């Protein structure tokens, strides 16, 4: 059932207006205007989204709010309109994108207080919000893709925001290129669906129409389309093998890392898979692939995070790892659990990044955790909120991460993927270890802060700490909407999302208490180890690193994947570009052709000008020859 | 006695050929110029011959035009030659090749 709801357009309108204002008037009207309007438009969008959500909740379950803003693509029989829809899934995502986004916009006021380029920053942030909202509100796949590309563009613009540093510009390019590779997969997936549905006379990529007609497509084609789309998701959501851009994307300002590279954009892949769940359900082998990639990415990235010295890098790998959990969830068919984790992760990971930003703000941009320590007295609010987020991501009850992560792990086990479940709980142990390592190194122990930075250490202003506190509150209670089935009010969010993404159908019924205590026990073990290594016996990590030098180096160098890609892909491509495309095709063939054309005309001229001797008798001679030839021709005509 | 038209035409052709040869082979511009006059008069002879043979006055009229034009041409041409000689102190066609590449 659908209900016309034109106000959805305003959710897009506000960020669009904010973007235009910041681009054209931001610098002229000055910082205070930008500081009001930049975050203000997102709050306005959030208010509309909340209104739409309330409206949606008051309607019968399964209702979809829709509005067609204008006709968009009409090519032959195919058509796609610029049309929005808000079902339960979109509503939840919209609230996350605008709600967490608004808090991060507020935080950015403080974070960018000393940056001259604040207008450009808020312009990009607003444009990002617009793109992300198009992505989650689109009612067809091409429009979703437009938002998908838009967030990729904004990610590029914001990662290389401080573009005068070459490394930042490089990180932006890397993010963009890795995303483009995934986008190619996304496009192929769309083409596959269009051609397969078109063969049956269905020329549309509207989700509702695809949902009703996907059954007519042959199973192998469905699998192909699902895998192609998932390749797109691995690019956007930083999964193996395209995750390499996300750690480098930390070159951007920290609010960007929190908003784009933790809370919203990187979860677009999970959203897309959940949105296309009707397709994935028909392609069990593609689902297996999603779940396996997710679990492998989770443990792979978590193991790298164990040894990284850079506070933002730890959080970046942690994000990749948590995204892996989400894909594990949707891959085993628990779409609602995956989206639930998107939500809780948005709360606690955005909070973690903002706290890290607050720490960096206090330490003049220091990111090396081995140059921190003992900060909990000086940054009490940051410390408290970050500890809450850490408990949440470590899945300690009753913090939010516990409910969502546990739901995913239970679903993985109950769907018969015991191996993936095992990977998941090992990752859970690693997660709590590296997160508490971060906490202990940053806030506990003795101060290792460089002497010249010590006098400046200060708690961030209220404009930054209030968003931290709000997010901390959400990170505490956010999980309560998804309690285990049959416990108090049960899994509210699962019921809410069920009309959009279906319900999880378990094949096993593992003992809930057993499963939960296994993951809880491992999480506790991780905390204990972190405490022992970094507080009780601070020499231990060095000893272990020394004794297992090769393993330590392997992790510290991120499994040499970047080097592998450099050797196998980037360098050969550069070589081909330089020598084959540049030197041979461009310089030799194309330039050769153009220069050759000029040269042949010149040479021809040099040769033919010799005819003009200036000697009048030679001209007369040639003239006579011509006359004779004409006479001979006419004689020939007369005599024959 | 009537001289055959063929003889007259043959004479005309011979004079014309001598004129062409003179223009092509002699290096002195004055001689080349005189050779051109030869060719013109060879043509005049051919005109008169053919006019008479066809019993028409048209060819004879043309001859007067040709003679007029030839006179004008001789005046202009000689003036040019004198001018060239004053400037270059030569009337050798081989040495007058400024109009080349």
Domain of residue B80, CATH code: 1.10.287.3510
Q: Which of A17, A40, A41, A21 is nearest to A29 (CA)?
A: A21
The span from the CA of A106 to the CA of A42, in Å, is 10
User: Which residues lie closer than 8 Å to A466 by C-beta, 6 or more apart?
Assistant: A106
Judged by CB atoms closer than 8 Å, whether chains meet at B93 and A610 is answered as no
What does DSSP say about strands A2-4 and A64-75: parallel, antiparallel, or unpaired? Answer: parallel
- Residue of chain A minimizing CA distance to B21: A621
- How far apart CA A203 and CA A206 sit, in angstroms, is 9
Tally of domains within chain B: 1
pLDDT of residue A138 exceeding 80, the answer is yes
- Average pLDDT, stretch A299-314? 92
Burial of residue A507 (number of CB atoms within 10 Å: 0-12, 13-18, 19+): exposed
- What is the total count of domains within chain A? 2
Q: What is the predicted pLDDT for the residue at B101? A: 64
Task: Answer yes or no: are the C-beta atoms of A390 and A439 closer than 8 Å.
Answer: yes
Provide, as residue numbers in chain B, all residues whose Cβ is less than 8 Å from the Cβ of A609.
101
Q: What is the pLDDT of residue B12?
A: 95
CB distance A71 to A81 below 8 Å: yes
Of A609, A615, A624, the CB nearest to B97: A615
Output the six-digit token pair for A584: 């041979």
Per-residue pLDDT at B100: 75
Asked whether residue A445 falls in the same domain as residue A326, the answer is: yes
Domain limit, last residue, from A556, A581, A600: A556
Q: Under an 8 A CB cutoff, do B23 and A620 touch? A: yes
Interface test with B, best of A604, A620, A628 (most B CBs within 10 A): A620
Are the CB atoms for A103 and A471 separated by under 8 Å?
yes
Does B87 map to a domain?
yes
**A63-117: pLDDT as tens digits:** 899 999 999 999 889 999 999 999 999 999 999 999 999 999 999 999 988 888 8
The pLDDT-based confidence of A446 (bands split at 50, 70, 90) is confident
Domain of A308, in residue numbers: 2-556
| Chain B residues inside the 8 Å CB shell of A620 | 23-24
Chain B residues closer than 8 Å to A612 by CB: 99-101
Which of A522, A556, A590 lies at the terminal end of a domain, its last residue?
A: A556
Å between B22 CA and nearest CA of chain A: 10
pTM score of the predicted model: 0.81
Regarding whether A268 and A240 lie in a shared domain, the answer is yes
How many Å apart are CA A176 and CA A150, to the nearest integer? 11
- Asked if A615 contacts B93 with a C-beta cutoff of 8 angstroms, the reply is yes
Question: What are A66's strand-pairing partners?
Answer: A4, A85
Q: Indicate whether A603 and A503 sit together in one domain.
A: no
Residue B39 lies in a domain: yes
Cross-chain CB nearest to A624 (options B20, B99, B101): B20
Question: pLDDT tens digits for A12-71?
Answer: 999 999 999 999 998 899 899 999 999 999 999 999 999 999 999 998 888 899 999 999
Distance from CA of B4 to the nearest CA of A (A): 23
Q: How far is A594 from chain B (nearest CA, A)?
A: 26
| B67 falls within a domain | yes
Q: What is the pLDDT of residues A197-254, one digit of tens each?
A: 999 989 999 999 999 999 899 999 999 999 999 999 999 999 988 999 999 999 899 9
Q: Residue B95: which pLDDT band, with cuts at 50, 70 and 90? A: confident
CA-based nearest distance A616→chain B, Å: 7
Report which listed range, A363-367, A561-565, A596-600, is most confident.
A596-600
A410 pLDDT exceeds 70? yes
- Tell me which chain B residues have a C-beta less than 8 angstroms from the C-beta of A616: 93, 96
Contact across the interface for B101 and A609, Cβ inside 8 Å:
yes
For residue B93, the chain A residues in CB contact (below 8 A) are 615-617
Judged against a pLDDT cut of 90, whether residue A298 lies above it is answered with: yes
| Cα B31 to Cα B24: distance, rounded to the nearest angstrom | 11
Q: Which of residues 587-616 of A touch B (CB under 8 A)?
A: 609-610, 612-616
- Percentage of residues in chain A having pLDDT higher than 90: 69
Q: Indicate if A525 and A587 belong to the same structural domain.
A: no
Reply yes or no on whether the pLDDT at A424 is more than 90: yes
- Say which of B24, B25, B98 has its CB closest to residue A614: B98
Most B CBs within 10 Å, among A604, A608, A614, to test the B interface: A614
Using a CB-CB distance cutoff of 8 angstroms, which residues of chain A are in contact with residue B32? 617
How distant is the Cα of A634 from the closest Cα of chain B, in angstroms?
18
Mean pLDDT value across residues A399-417? 91
CA distance, residue B42 to nearest chain A CA (Å): 16
Q: Is residue A321 over pLDDT 90? A: yes
Please indicate whether, in this complex, the C-beta atoms of A612 and B100 are within 8 angstroms of each other: yes
Of A615, A620, A621, Cβ closest to residue B94: A615
Question: Is B8 contained in some domain?
Answer: no
Same domain, A177 and A217: yes
Q: Which residues contact A5 (CB under 8 A, 6 or more apart)?
A: A52, A55, A65, A66, A67, A86
Same domain, A490 and A505: yes
- Express each pLDDT in A525-560 by its tens digit: 999 999 998 888 887 888 888 888 888 888 888 888
My answer on whether A550 and A584 are in the same domain is: no
* pLDDT class of B1 with cuts at 50, 70, 90: low
Mutate to test the interface with B, among A607, A608, A611, A615 (most CBs of B within 10 A): A615
Q: Does A443 score more than 70 pLDDT?
A: yes
Whole-number average pLDDT of chain A: 91
CA distance A626 to chain B (A): 13
Secondary structure string (H, E, C) spanning A128-196: HHHHHHHHHHECEHHHHHHHHHHHHHHHHHHHCCCCCCHHHHHHHHHHHHHHHHHHHHHHHHHHHHHHH
Cis amide linkage into residue A398, ω under 30° from 0 = yes
**B22 within some domain:** no
Q: Can you state the percent helix, strand and coil of chain B, rounding each to 5?
A: 80, 0, 20
Select from B23, B94, B101 the Cβ nearest to the Cβ of A612. Answer: B101
B77 lies in some domain? yes
CB A233 within 8 A of CB A182: yes
The verdict on residue B37 lying in a domain is yes
Q: Based on the domain organization, do A477 and A581 belong to the same domain?
A: no
Whether A617 sits inside 8 A of B99 (CB atoms) is no
Which domain covers residue B52, as residue numbers?
28-92
| Tens digit of each residue's pLDDT (9 = 90 or more) over A238-282 | 998 899 999 999 989 999 999 999 999 999 999 999 999 999 999
Q: Which of A508, A524, A556 is the last residue of a domain?
A: A556
Out of A610, A612, A615, closest to residue B93 by CB: A615
């Amino acid at each position: 059932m659908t209900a016309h709801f034109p106000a959805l357009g305003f959710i897009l309108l506000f960020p669009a207006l904010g973007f235009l204002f910041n681009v054209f008037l931001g610098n002229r009207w000055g910082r205070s205007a930008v500081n009001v309007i930049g975050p203000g438009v997102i709050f306005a969008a959030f208010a509309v989204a909340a209104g739409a959500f309330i409206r949606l909740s008051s309607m019968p379950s399964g209702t979809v709010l829709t509005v067609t803003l204008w006709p968009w693509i009409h090519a032959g029989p195919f058509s796609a309109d610029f049309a929005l829809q808000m079902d339960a899934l979109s509503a939840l995502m919209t609230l996350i994108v605008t709600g967490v986004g608004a808090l991060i916009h507020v935080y950015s006021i403080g974070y960018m207080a000393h940056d001259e380029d604040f207008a450009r920053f808020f312009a990009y942030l607003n444009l990002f919000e617009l793109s992300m909202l198009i992505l989650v509100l689109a009612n067809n796949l091409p429009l979703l893709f437009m938002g998908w590309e838009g967030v990729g563009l904004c990610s590029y613009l914001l990662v290389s925001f401080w573009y005068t540093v070459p490394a930042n510009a490089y990180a932006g390019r890397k993010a963009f290129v890795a995303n483009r590779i995934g986008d190619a997969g996304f496009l192929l997936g769309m083409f596959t669906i269009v051609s397969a549905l078109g063969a049956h006379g269905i020329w549309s990529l509207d989700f509702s129409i695809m949902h009703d007609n996907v059954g007519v497509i042959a199973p192998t084609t469905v699998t192909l389309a699902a895998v192609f789309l998932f390749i797109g998701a691995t690019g956007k959501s930083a999964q193996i093998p395209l995750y390499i851009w996300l750690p480098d994307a930390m070159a951007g300002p920290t609010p960007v890392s929190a908003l784009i590279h933790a809370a919203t954009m990187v979860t677009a892949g999970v959203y897309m898979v959940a949105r296309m769940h009707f397709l994935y359900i028909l392609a069990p082998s593609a689902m297996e692939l999603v779940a396996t990639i997710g679990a492998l990415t989770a443990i792979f990235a978590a193991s790298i995070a164990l040894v990284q010295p850079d506070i933002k890098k730890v959080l970046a790998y942690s994000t990749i790892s948590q995204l892996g959990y989400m894909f594990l969830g949707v891959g085993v068919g628990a779409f609602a659990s995956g989206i639930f984790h998107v939500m809780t992760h948005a709360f606690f990971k955005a909070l973690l990044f903002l706290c890290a930003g607050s720490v960096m703000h206090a330490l003049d941009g220091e990111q090396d955790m081995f140059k921190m320590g003992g900060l909990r007295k000086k940054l009490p609010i940051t410390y408290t909120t970050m500890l809450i987020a850490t408990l949440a991501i470590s899945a300690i009850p009753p913090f939010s991460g516990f409910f969502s992560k546990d739901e995913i792990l239970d679903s993985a086990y109950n769907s018969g993927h015991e191996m993936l479940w095992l990977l998941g709980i090992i990752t859970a142990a690693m997660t709590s270890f590296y997160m508490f390592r971060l906490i202990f190194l940053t806030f506990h122990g003795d101060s290792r802060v460089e002497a010249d930075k010590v006098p400046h250490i200060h708690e961030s202003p209220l404009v930054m700490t209030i968003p931290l506190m709000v997010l901390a509150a959400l990170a505490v209670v956010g999980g309560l909407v998804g309690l285990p089935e049959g416990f108090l009010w049960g899994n509210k969010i699962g019921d809410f999302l069920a009309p959009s993404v279906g319900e999880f159908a378990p094949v096993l019924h593992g003992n809930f208490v057993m499963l939960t205590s296994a993951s809880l026990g491992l999480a506790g073990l991780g905390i204990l180890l972190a405490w022992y290594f970094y507080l009780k016996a601070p020499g231990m990590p060095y000893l272990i690193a020394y004794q297992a030098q090769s393993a330590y180096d392997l992790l510290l160098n991120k499994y040499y994947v970047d080097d592998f890609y450099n050797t196998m892909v980037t360098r050969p491509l550069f070589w081909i570009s330089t020598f084959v495309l540049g030197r041979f095709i461009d310089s030799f063939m194309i330039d050769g052709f153009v220069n050759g054309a000029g040269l042949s005309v010149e040479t021809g001229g040099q040769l033919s000008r010799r005819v003009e001797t200036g000697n009048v008798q030679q001209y007369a001679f040639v003239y006579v020859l011509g006359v004779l030839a004409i006479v001979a021709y006419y004689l020939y005509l007369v005599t024959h | 006695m009537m001289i055959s038209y063929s003889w007259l035409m043959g004479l005309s052709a011979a004079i014309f050929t001598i004129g062409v040869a003179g223009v092509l082979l002699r290096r002195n511009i004055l001689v080349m110029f005189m050779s051109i006059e030869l060719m013109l008069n060879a043509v005049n002879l051919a005109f008169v011959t053919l006019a008479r043979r066809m019993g028409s006055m048209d060819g004879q009229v043309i001859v007067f035009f040709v003679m007029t034009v030839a006179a004008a041409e001789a005046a202009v041409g000689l003036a040019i030659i004198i001018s060239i000689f004053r400037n270059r102190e030569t009337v050798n066609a081989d040495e007058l090749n400024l109009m080349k590449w």
